Structure 1
Amino acid sequence: MGMPPMRRFWKLLKQYQKEIRQIYAYALFIGIVNLTLPLGIQAIINFLQTGEYTTTWLILVGFVLVGITITGIIQVLQLRIVENIQQDLFTRSALEFAYRIPKISFIQLDKIHAPELVNRFFDTLTIQKGLPKILIDFSLAAFQIIFGLTLLAVYSPYFIVLGFSLAIILWIIFKFTGPQGLTTSLKESKYKYQLAYWLEEIARVNTSFKLFSKNKFHLNKTDDIVEGYLVSREKHFQVLISQFRLFIGFKVIVAAGLLLLGGYLVFQERMNIGQFVAAEIIIILIINSIEKILRIIDTIYDVLTALDKIGYITDIELDKKGGNATVITEQGLSLRAKEIVFGFPDDKNKIIDKVSFEINANDKVLLTGESGSGKSILLKILSGIHEIEEGQLYIDDVPFINYEMEKLYENFGVSFPTNQIFEGSFKDNIVIGRNISDREISETLKLLNLDDYLIHQPQGVDSFVDSGGRRLPRSIIQKLLVARIIIGKPKLLLMEDPLLFIEEDEKRKIIDYIMDEKRDWTVLVISDFYYWKEKCNKVINLNKN
């Protein structure tokens, strides 16, 4: 069960306590200064009734104008503080997403679609836009209502009773309609993300939908999701409309109560004309503040919903950090498994069931087995992607869980069939931020015959590659991925069909290099290509029979 949206909201505000205190202090000061307007006008009217032109009248006019000017200056300062919060919030959110997504447990990712999670980042913009209204407009409106009623209470104690009555009515409105509005907003948002994800799917497999466009399956499914969104949106709108109606009634009660009470006090000569005019101005300010709060309610729902969606990312379990052990050997890593067991949480059958094996340092091993025997899963277990449920797994006779994972990953070279090319240069895709000399890069490119391809690119190794290497031959993509894993001279190579689309002559040359017994690395590879078996010194068969 995730954290409630309101608690997430208070947790967010807690990060900016100092700034929010400043904003509220400014709002408090603005609320007080705004009272100079009705008080000043009251004094001006009283002087005008005397029929005399005095310098005091000019001073009072100047006093009111100074109050308006100071209010404007303070509002600018408030905007500066909120802008700082918005920029910091965007930065925090971007870095939080970038940090957490690669560290999300793969068991968790097996249940969800990672790109759909990234869509939630755009709710950061919703929070950015909503915070100024909540922190400035809402607080200022609330203070104006409070100070307005307080000032009216000075004119007559009857206003105190009226003020408390209005506060109770306002609380009741929020108490009974607020939770329903939040619930409908969350449901509406669910369909919004479902639609965004489906449109991404249409874009991802656009060729298939182009060929089968006559069936209109993609349009029909889009229509179903949109229909669900519109139904949820209408329910949310109905809540907003009901709140709007209640607020209109509340506003009418406020206006009627204050005007009737003010008029009664004038007739009873408990309030003069100047005070009545000042009271009318205060009443207008209060009514405007109530309208402002009404307009902000939808923004509050949006911000709470956005926090709930982003909070889903922060609630997902991350990979365990492991221990403090590090790799100290200069040779390849040795591996030992004793009756290890692995299965997915929702699957009764164990994919890896009490498997044991031993691989010595610098062994070159071919992993074989029938489809479904668990070859790919075993590679993912050895690479730290999945955790075993039972049994013991050792690297260099140290339990796997005792290693500091980031340090251990520095000694791994892992290649799976999935396309792992990202948008950047060829060099970026090979090096991925590691400190590797140009000489090493050049030697690796020559080994894989990538230099012949890159020489025809506009900027050589610094040429641009788009996401997934869409315009690259599949053989070049595989060579880039192989270059990525061998250039760091890892101690353990874990590979699944790494050379599937490469020509046989080049394939044999690369295999000769990788499987050379003089290489100080341990190799575990899955492949049907016969030459791997000729060059390995050990075969592990995972067939259950």
Structure 2
Amino acid sequence: MDNHIPSIVARFWSMLRPDQKEIRNIYLFSIFSGILSLGLPLGIQMIINFIELGQMSTSWFVLVILVVLSIGFSGLLNIFQLRITENLQQRIFTRSAFEFAERIPLIRLTELMKKYGTDLTHRFFDTLTIQKGLSKLLIDFTAAILQLVFCLVLLSFYHSFFIFLGVFLVFTLGLIVRLTARQGMLASLEESSYKYKIAHWLKEIAQARFSFNLSGNRKFHIYRTDDYVQGYLSARDQHFKVLVKQYAYLIIFKVLIALSFLIIGGILVINQQMNIGQFVASEILILLILSAVEKLILSIEVVYDVFTAIEKIGQVTDLPIELSNQNQERVDATKGLSIQFDQVSCHLESYELSPLTEIQLQIHPQEKIAIVSDSSLSSSMLFCSLVGLMDCSKGTISINRIPLENLNKQSLREKIGSVLYRDQLVFGSVSDNIRYGRDEISLSEIENEISNLNLTSFIHSMPEKYQGILNPESHMIPIDVERKLLVARAMIGQPNLLIFEDPTAGLTSIQKEVLLSYIFKDEQKTVMVATSDPAVFTYCSRIIEIHQGKIRFDGSYESFKLTQSC
């Protein structure tokens, strides 16, 4: 926890690194604006000197014009800064959106199993927090710091005592930040964590709304929400206490500035070490300093919000992802793939028993395999390791005699059609759900797949046919239609290996027959199906049973039936 702030600051500058030129321009404009703002007290000092002389000269008139122009030009620089920060906000939003879209599917499965995928997507909304706070952080906060520094520097020219006072005040301000920033940052992070817990829980309620509606105890979701809200409010109170403490310190700092400069300025005027014009100018500088401190006070919460948002987004971008090497071997196959599992073991930290233990298995091209397991986790791990979603803790998997580690994963997955347990339709048209970004697939190919799966009548019942929108969240898509659409997505690219998990679950015997006859129709493909459905076994030339992570049976369906009857 002690390293949070340095890492967050590093993340902040890393986020802005692609826009270094724009950031430099913002800071240059801030410096120029800060210098121009000094024209007001200096100009007023000189104007008062002219007034004391009782003269109306051309110099006086020119001086007034210059002061007004400096104010106007300073405002113009602020407009330029706003334009630059608007461009920065748009770029940050765009980069964040594409980075999330690219990284989330590539996050290693072992890391996702420790978290909740949809909770990670909620972190994207922190991009909006960064957008809103960036202009205040880059413009207002920076301007306040520069204004404070420039005013203190200019005051030091009036008398040497102001130099020591300025150094003391800067040291005091730094000490306040040093003593309270870490505590405030940690409180802000805890507050944000509870915010995401609440958002995640509300999404859970929405996804399981039928279960909550039909349950006898209707208070469970309220109790859980209450727990999270209490945690959030407690964290919020802690964060607010830190903010109040910082506000109090800065207000004391503000009072000390006003008191010190007023007393010292008055004494210097009385002792004739400063004239009236200089005194008025110094008082304007004091007002500018107080204004800068007030801006810093109002910016503290924004700083916490931006830094917390950066840390939350970083928790997603820090997750390890699959790395693709284009120089690796590509899968070249016109028929079914051959697969070799050589002493493969997979272990999960959350389970005492290994889902797969020393699996030794040879699958020949064009074979039709049924995987029977006492735990669906074993078959899921087998398939996930086969397609490269999960690394095995031991052993080697080879495709067409090439170790999986030496294969280009994208090339491999282009040769595999799969419907795994977690696969689902997405909000979009029928054609989008089948194409899944493969624009080379024509509508006629989609129509052919739909026809083979007896889905034509369902598609034609939709007003917009293949452009009709499917909404998986509505729960109104028949289960057989959903399964068939997923199968169509898997098979339309003419893959060489088909992998399915429980494709017939919840289907009637007639629906099973239609689906299975289509899955197994191409004898050239290698097919692997994880199932306990005897209807699938009749299509398979080989049954493999996994018990407690190990292969207990490997043979024909007839032999398997004999083992079950014993």
Relative to the length of structure 1, the TM-score reads: 0.96
Does residue 1:508 correspond to 2:505, yes or no?
no
Partner of 1:250: 253
| Counterpart Cα distance in 2 of 1:389 and 1:292 | 55
| Counterpart Cα distance in 2 of 1:371 and 1:318 | 27
Partner of 1:463: 468
After the TM superposition, which residues 383-532 of structure 1 pair with which residues of structure 2 at under 5 Å, given as runs? 383-418=387-422, 420-434=424-438, 435-468=440-473, 470-516=475-521, 518-532=522-536
Instruction: Tell me the CA shift for residue 377 of structure 1.
Output: 2.2
Q: In the alignment, is the contact (CA less than 8 A) between 1:383 and 1:414 conserved in 2?
A: no
Q: In the alignment, is the contact (CA less than 8 A) between 1:427 and 1:461 conserved in 2?
A: yes
Q: In the alignment, is the contact (CA less than 8 A) between 1:362 and 1:521 conserved in 2?
A: yes
Q: In the alignment, is the contact (CA less than 8 A) between 1:373 and 1:542 conserved in 2?
A: no
Partner of 2:93: 90
Count of matched residue pairs = 544
* 1:112 match: secondary structure: coil
| Counterpart Cα distance in 2 of 1:27 and 1:375 | 61
Q: In the alignment, is the contact (CA less than 8 A) between 1:100 and 1:318 conserved in 2?
A: yes
Distance 1:213 1:62, change over 3 A: farther
Relative to the length of structure 2, the TM-score reads: 0.93
Instruction: Tell me the CA shift for residue 540 of structure 1.
Output: 1.7
| Counterpart Cα distance in 2 of 1:399 and 1:491 | 17
* 1:478 match: secondary structure: helix
Q: In the alignment, is the contact (CA less than 8 A) between 1:34 and 1:68 conserved in 2?
A: yes
Letter aligned with residue 366 of structure 1: A
Does residue 1:39 correspond to 2:62, yes or no?
no
Instruction: Tell me the CA shift for residue 244 of structure 1.
Output: 1.0
% identity of equivalent residues: 40
* Deviates further, 94-103 or 210-219: 210-219
Partner of 1:356: 360
Distance 1:504 1:212, change over 3 A: closer
After the TM superposition, which residues 113-124 of structure 1 pair with which residues of structure 2 at under 5 Å, given as runs? 113-124=116-127
Does residue 1:321 correspond to 2:320, yes or no?
no
Does residue 1:164 correspond to 2:164, yes or no?
no
Instruction: Tell me the CA shift for residue 469 of structure 1.
Output: 5.9
| Counterpart Cα distance in 1 of 2:216 and 2:512 | 40
Partner of 1:191: 194
- Gaps spanning 5+ residues in structure 2: where? 553-566
| Counterpart Cα distance in 2 of 1:201 and 1:509 | 34
* 2:538 match: secondary structure: helix
Instruction: Tell me the CA shift for residue 451 of structure 1.
Output: 1.0
Instruction: Tell me the CA shift for residue 358 of structure 1.
Output: 1.1
After the TM superposition, which residues 10-29 of structure 1 pair with which residues of structure 2 at under 5 Å, given as runs? 10-29=13-32
| Counterpart Cα distance in 1 of 2:333 and 2:233 | 61
Distance 1:255 1:18, change over 3 A: same
Q: In the alignment, is the contact (CA less than 8 A) between 2:431 and 2:443 conserved in 1?
A: no
Letter aligned with residue 495 of structure 1: F
Partner of 1:306: 309
Partner of 2:374: 370
Residues 126-182 of structure 1, C-alpha deviation per residue, up to 9 Å, x if partnerless?
Answer: 111111111111111111111111111111111111111111111111111111111
Does residue 1:135 correspond to 2:142, yes or no?
no
Distance 1:476 1:513, change over 3 A: closer
| Counterpart Cα distance in 2 of 1:408 and 1:501 | 30
Instruction: Tell me the CA shift for residue 514 of structure 1.
Output: 2.5
After the TM superposition, which residues 228-239 of structure 1 pair with which residues of structure 2 at under 5 Å, given as runs? 228-239=231-242
Instruction: Tell me the CA shift for residue 369 of structure 1.
Output: 3.3
Distance 1:60 1:320, change over 3 A: closer
Q: In the alignment, is the contact (CA less than 8 A) between 2:480 and 2:511 conserved in 1?
A: no
Partner of 1:208: 211
* Deviates further, 465-474 or 240-249: 465-474
Residues 22-41 of structure 1, C-alpha deviation per residue, up to 9 Å, x if partnerless?
Answer: 11111110111111111111
* 1:16 match: secondary structure: helix
Letter aligned with residue 113 of structure 1: Y
